[in-house]
Structure 1
Amino acid sequence: MPTPDRTSLDAIVLAARDLLESEGLAGLSMQAVASRVGVRAPSLYKRVANREELIQLVAEASLLELGERLDAASSLEELADEFRAFGHERPAAFQLILTPGAGTPTARPEFGASASQGILRLAGEVAGEHRALEAARTLTAWAAGFVSMELNQGFNLGGDVDEAWRFGLASIVRAIGTA
């Protein structure tokens, strides 16, 4: 009789996502994930080929989560606020999917395309279907840069960062609507 499986791919990815947030990408190892799910490291290889595939799976799961949150938004402002909240709640995942760095495994393109559906829909409503992609890219680039600066304590000149977010977001959305 074969030995029963003691973990699932979902449990492995969830443990890896938690480790990514607590230990960073450098601390995301097969051994650490195995310890979290209560198995020996060799057991993980029944489900995941190697660390690179594990990182890819974490990136894909993070994009799925982000996409679900963005799909629920009813306005570009609400969508951008969800994007920012995701960055603050899951900073390591945010970095992994938006600025992974050279040599870091990334999600397959279809996961990025799926996560982009909400912003493309809302951007099309504001800018028109013919400019939806350009509008979505403009808002994403601004929001990703803003959130990255926040996460890296890049706003050092004083002032209210939340007010700057609201000002910038309103300005971008207004500009997208008049382009």
Structure 2
Amino acid sequence: MKLTEKLTEIQRTLRVPKKRNNDFGNFKYRNLEDILEVFKKKETEYKVSLRFETKPVAVGSSIYIEAAVIFTDLESGEEIRSCAYAKEPPQPKAKMDESQCTGSATSYAKKYAFNNLFLLDDSIDPDSNQNIDSGEKASDAQIKQIETLCQKHNVNQAELYRKHRIKGKPSAAQAGIILTIFKKNFGDD
């Protein structure tokens, strides 16, 4: 079996459920360790190996972590690479030192390099505007946090809700998306 055939078969059969819960954003996710735990079962079956290479890359004044996943056929030596990037924040986020920010960006880039290669992320990302919404209303704590962050960062809450097509009180999923956006843009927890 050629490496591309092995890759296609692994893409077809690899399933990693999102079993972790982010209480802050109210969504389920999987981390890199969850993914690798499931993938390791495929290595022996298909006689393949996986390794990562990471390095910082400067783009203007921004620093990105480039992660490459190298998928190797142990029988032929043939390789397929996939890369992804994650931006380091210009300042460490709250409760994180610089090395933790680098580690977080590295893990994120590795996860998405892997997902790109194996077409893993077949479910809708919580950051996506296509997020499946159960209709459950946002908690009072989520609403209060959105209000506080809007005031702190001079964001017009009514305009923010309009932009996200929210009429009245947001759902828990919509609130989670908005809070994730604040976290990405401003580093707020």
The structure with the greater share of residues assigned to helix is 1
Under a length normalisation based on structure 1, what TM-score does the superposition of the two structures give? 0.30
The structure with the greater share of residues assigned to strand is 2
